[in-house]
Structure 1
Amino acid sequence: MANVVVVGAQWGDEGKGKIVDWLSLEADVVVRFQGGHNAGHTLVINGVTYKLALLPSGIVRPGKLSVIGNGVVVDPHFLIGEIERLREQGVEIGPDNFKIAENAPLILSLHRELDAYREEAAGNGVKIGTTKRGIGPAYEDKVGRRSVRLMDLAEPDTLDDKITRLLAHHNPLRRGLGLPEIAPAAVRDELLDAAPKILPYMDAVWELLEDLRRAGKRILFEGAQGVLLDVDHGTYPYVTSSNTVSASAASGSGLGPGAIGYVLGIAKAYTTRVGGGPFPTELHDEIGTLIGDRGHEFGTNTGRRRRCGWFDAVLTRQAVKTSGIYGIALTKLDILDGLDEIRVCTHYLLDGARIDRLPASQSAQARVVPVYETIEGWKGTTGGARSWADLPAQAIKYVRRIEELIGAPVALLSTSPERDDTILVRNPFED
């Protein structure tokens, strides 16, 4: 039985929450391996909606172990609030079904303040589109070797030196930005306030996961955002602050690369993104608005309206390659129901020459022109379909053409937010 890594094959918001929830029925462990609470998942189970940001999607399933790996930056106060909200919905969360890596870096209020200041001070055209939740500054402190990590909360006698090292960077920066300096005691109080509520979940996750793997437990690795937001392989600088590709499932959890089995990419039947950055197939017309309205394309955490466009096979094909994707879970096919025709981007033109990838250059990304193939739409409905026989013939042709263009088969097809409205072609855990 293969362990499974789930990654977004576009710019995020592809519907990973539902797919991870669906797969978690066969998994024993669900692991978040990167990102922070800047990317949310919405789950709809038996008519009940759960909105998650930090907690792995498996947390709503009894009998599953949910894990936050070391590759995640954790806002302790946000996490405490999220746990309380889910408990109010009847979800049981305790140290027996939820663990946090002891070496996970923490997001503090100073990170959120710096994040917000930078984004608000940036002029038009240079805004990244950050959620202002402190993710980027927290990752900066991680690689700058000045993070306060979860394990540090268990050793309050050593906190002062760590806070001094942290503020030796942040206070001069704040002075230069015209922001008030932060007193060490304020940081200490902030940390110690969260400590008793979060420390019970701390564990040596790398060791725990290796023991579970050797015992034959099935592990589902859950990524946040999408491959096109990867800090190395995405549309830099309009990216997130972590590696979102499947390889980071290993480094972000403490397991070796051999622990990764099947890589499942999630892609919408069209394309969306939030915030700034290039978007070759973006629609600025009534069809783009229609897709956004039908698909309820608003951020789970931020409420920001997502930009919408036609399916971009160039970008998804690139994601398939950079993440080693074995198969695709195609979501939201039903949003395209009733359209007379559907367009798919097959390649680009860059300064008049054909190109079959998105170039790394920011200026070149802005100049690419999408080249489309037009596919006949369908009048029937795909919403709620649970077998190929339930799909209009032309919808099946659309799915098959996407498979050809991206170089990967469709392993699952999602036809509504409900977990059961899923057509299984290939079970990733049995591949």
Structure 2
Amino acid sequence: MKVDVLLGLQWGDEGKGKFVDALASGYDAVARFHGGSNAGHTLIFEGKKIVLNSIPSGILHADMINIIGSGVVLDVESFCNELRILTQVGYAVQRNGKLWISRKAHLLLPTHALLDKYAEEALGDTKIGSTQKGIAPAYADKILRKGLRVMDILAADFPARVVQLLSDHAKQLEQTFALRVDVNQLYADFMRNIEQLRQFSFVDAEWEINKLLLAGKRVLAEGAQATLLDIDHGSYPFVTSSNTIAGAACTGLGIAPKTIGLVYGVFKAYCTRVGNGPFASEINGGLADQLRMKGNEFGSVTKRPRRIGWLDLPALQYAIMINGVDRLIMTKADVLSGMDVVRVCTSYATESEFQGYSTNCETANGNVFFKDFAGWPEDIAALRERKDLPEALQQYLAFIEDALKIPITYISVGPDREQIIPS
């Protein structure tokens, strides 16, 4: 069997969690392979809104194995908060034994978040747009080979190693930002959450996933953030701290490239972006405000208002190319209902006459060319078949599929998991 991958093709917030949840019934396991609590995957089921940051989006399926892979940096406090939220809405995760955590996943300490917060604020007007959850400092410790991993929890000297790393961070905070922290209190809070983490299965995820495949089980790898935020292939430095593309599923889960099956790419019918960075098709003013409110475009993690733009085809073509996308999923088509005109960015030239998408921040905002489509006044939220969609929307979809040379397999027409149209 193969590992299929579902990931975002824009700057995040495309609705990946909803479609992991929706497609999960066709799989035996869902695995997160990178990132951490800076991801916010929103699920709406039976009127309940659930935001997951670290726990895979297949968790609402009782028989589903959910795996936090080795490429994840695990924010233990956020993880415990998610457990409480799931319990409050009727999902007791601890009881079913179906959440596995890689022994090699790195742990995020509270001082990682403090380092992130104060480093970001020190940038002033040149802020990156960090969620300030501590993800970059946690990955930095991983690369510097001084991080703590899930497997270390079982070691006799784990408490001493936690104190040492907290103390190192405290020294950095005081020397760099003149901030003094109470290491003893941070240690007590962290270890209290660690005790809850001990209730779960710590596994060698690479072995377990490969055993699932050999047993004929189907695995879905769940991406976080999105392609254009990739640390290597996004608009650096306005990116996240991990690799977000399909290839990262191999390193984050410990699987061979030949085991990758279908790649699902999720994109919005328009674009959004949180924080700074180039955004060639950006809309400003009242129209942006209107779409932001209608689409509830505020960060799942930070609650910050998202920047709004028209669909950017060159950026999508780039994302499709580096991910090897097989199937497209469009979300939030319903948000564009009622607009007189819907625009699509079809190309742009920079000063160097580069045609197509560029992640170079110095040249990425060039002369942008658009194609205009007639809008559709109809409310499409209750529709469930593509043939019933308004003709203007049909033309919009056909143009996108022709330009990208890939079929749109699913169309989302509302936030609920049932508001999906298969093509």
Fold match by TM threshold 0.5:
yes
Matching residue of 2:400: 402
Q: Mark the CA change 1:341 to 1:137 in structure 2 (over 3 Å): closer, same or farther.
A: same
Matching residue of 1:421: 419
Matching residue of 1:390: 388
Paired residue type of 1:198? L
The answer (yes or no) to whether the contact 2:69–2:101 under 8 Å persists in 1 is yes
Paired residue type of 2:360? S
Deviation at 1:170, TM superposition (A): 6.3
Q: CA–CA distance in 1 between the matches of 2:174 and 2:317?
A: 43
Q: CA–CA distance in 2 between the matches of 1:170 and 1:404?
A: 55
Deviation at 1:408, TM superposition (A): 2.3
Percentage identity across aligned positions? 37
Deviates more, 1:415-424 or 1:33-42: 415-424
Paired residue type of 1:36? G
The answer (yes or no) to whether the contact 1:146–1:166 under 8 Å persists in 2 is no
The answer (yes or no) to whether the contact 1:147–1:166 under 8 Å persists in 2 is no
The answer (yes or no) to whether the contact 1:115–1:136 under 8 Å persists in 2 is yes
Q: What aligned pairs does 1:105-144 form with structure 2 within 5 A after superposition? A: 105-124=106-125, 126-144=126-144
Which of 371, 374, 381 is equivalent to 1:373? 371
Matching residue of 1:362: 361
Q: What aligned pairs does 1:42-191 form with structure 2 within 5 A after superposition? A: 42-94=42-94, 96-124=97-125, 126-161=126-161, 164=164, 167-168=167-168, 171-172=171-172, 174-180=174-180, 183=183, 189-191=188-190
Matching residue of 2:277: 277
Q: Mark the CA change 1:187 to 1:302 in structure 2 (over 3 Å): closer, same or farther.
A: closer
Deviation at 1:158, TM superposition (A): 4.9
Runs of 5+ unmatched residues, structure 2: none
Paired residue type of 1:107? L
Deviation readout 1:22-80 (Å, 9 max, x if unpaired): 10111110111111111211111122221211111111111111111111111112211
1:193 aligns with 2:192: yes
Paired residue type of 1:389? K
Matching residue of 1:304: 304
Please give the secondary structure, in 1, of the residue aligned with 2:398.
Answer: helix
Matching residue of 2:335: 335
Deviation readout 1:306-360 (Å, 9 max, x if unpaired): 11110000111110011111111001111111212111001112127351122x4
Please give the secondary structure, in 2, of the residue aligned with 1:379.
Answer: coil
Matching residue of 2:7: 7
The answer (yes or no) to whether the contact 1:150–1:199 under 8 Å persists in 2 is no
TM norm structure 2: 0.94
Q: CA–CA distance in 2 between the matches of 1:120 and 1:363?
A: 23
Q: What aligned pairs does 1:222-371 form with structure 2 within 5 A after superposition? A: 222-351=222-351, 353=353, 355-358=355-358, 360-365=359-364, 367-371=365-369
Paired residue type of 1:423? I
Q: CA–CA distance in 2 between the matches of 1:385 and 1:161?
A: 56
Deviation readout 1:177-218 (Å, 9 max, x if unpaired): 3233775x6665454333321123222111111111111111
Deviation readout 1:407-430 (Å, 9 max, x if unpaired): 3221111111122221223xxxxx
Q: CA–CA distance in 1 between the matches of 2:205 and 2:187?
A: 25
Please give the secondary structure, in 2, of the residue aligned with 1:353.
Answer: coil
The answer (yes or no) to whether the contact 2:77–2:190 under 8 Å persists in 1 is no
Matching residue of 1:429: none
The answer (yes or no) to whether the contact 2:315–2:356 under 8 Å persists in 1 is no
Q: Mark the CA change 1:196 to 1:323 in structure 2 (over 3 Å): closer, same or farther.
A: same
Deviation readout 1:68-94 (Å, 9 max, x if unpaired): 111111111221121012111101212
Please give the secondary structure, in 1, of the residue aligned with 2:324.
Answer: coil
Q: Mark the CA change 1:144 to 1:110 in structure 2 (over 3 Å): closer, same or farther.
A: same
Matching residue of 2:215: 215
The answer (yes or no) to whether the contact 1:175–1:181 under 8 Å persists in 2 is no
Q: CA–CA distance in 1 between the matches of 2:352 and 2:161?
A: 58
Please give the secondary structure, in 1, of the residue aligned with 2:80.
Answer: helix
Deviation at 1:259, TM superposition (A): 2.3
Deviation at 1:376, TM superposition (A): 1.7
Q: CA–CA distance in 2 between the matches of 1:10 and 1:312?
A: 9
Paired residue type of 1:245? I
Aligned length in residues: 421
Q: CA–CA distance in 1 between the matches of 2:249 and 2:361?
A: 27
Root-mean-square deviation (Å): 1.9
Runs of 5+ unmatched residues, structure 1: 426-431
The answer (yes or no) to whether the contact 2:111–2:166 under 8 Å persists in 1 is no
Paired residue type of 2:156? P
The answer (yes or no) to whether the contact 2:66–2:99 under 8 Å persists in 1 is yes
Q: CA–CA distance in 2 between the matches of 1:78 and 1:377?
A: 41
